[in-house]
Chains A and B, each alone.
Chain A
Amino acid sequence: SQQGEEDPQALSIQEGENATMNCSYKTSINNLQWYRQNSGRGLVHLILIRSNEREKHSGRLRVTLDTSKKSSSLLITASRAADTASYFCATVLSGGYNKLIFGAGTRLAVHP
């Protein structure tokens, strides 16, 4: 079974709106990462948050981590059409440094 699960599975918004995606996981983690995948392409790393961090920012991205609830959220502010992609959370299990486990992803569509 998968470690991480994203919610919602699909999200459709207008340009300029904020997009929030959530990720839940099952076991203790070392860190949690978010990746983006444009259609037909490989995944690109966006941001990493460690288990002892609660919030992290990178440009228009804001990631939060709640280890007590085993959940994370990715917020994209002021979205653009170019943000249209699938977004995946990935976790590194505590002690499992060689395995990065991915969720099923959220498909984001940003309409002009």
Chain B
Amino acid sequence: NAGVTQTPKFQVLKTGQSMTLQCAQDMNHEYMSWYRQDPGMGLRLIHYSVGAGITDQGEVPNGYNVSRSTTEDFPLRLLSAAPSQTSVYFCASRALASGANVLTFGAGSRLTVL
């Protein structure tokens, strides 16, 4: 099993550019989420989804859009990148039936906004 796959692993953007971070999982997990990790801040929840067509905001949703058209994919879109969005982004998923909220994480995408 590939688990949770994130692409790209590294990306450099200029302020104002747009891009999409891709996340795919092959475990048939209903729940998917995006976190950002900044030094000294731990992980902060950006957006999450409990199934296709359903998304909701986390702790720090501003500046990010998500959609969930399939169970497998949960892309994160930055419409107009800002230097404050320089971070490492993690996608994570779980099966809703597990009941315990234990997440499986991807390897991360490191984004630098100049």
Chain A residues within 8 Å of B, Cβ to Cβ = 2, 4, 30-31, 33, 40-45, 48, 88, 92, 97-105
Contacts and interface: CB of A to CB of B under 8 A. Distances in A.
B95 interface: no
B103 interface: yes
Contacts of A48: 100, 102
Nearest to A99: B45
A101 B45 contact: yes
Interface stretch (B14-22, B35-43, B61-69, B71-79): B35-43
Q: Is the interface of B mostly helix, strand, loop or mixed?
A: strand
Q: Which range holds the interface residue count of chain B?
A: 20 to 34
Chain A binding surface, main DSSP class: strand
Contacts of B43: 43, 88, 102
Interface in B16-32: 31
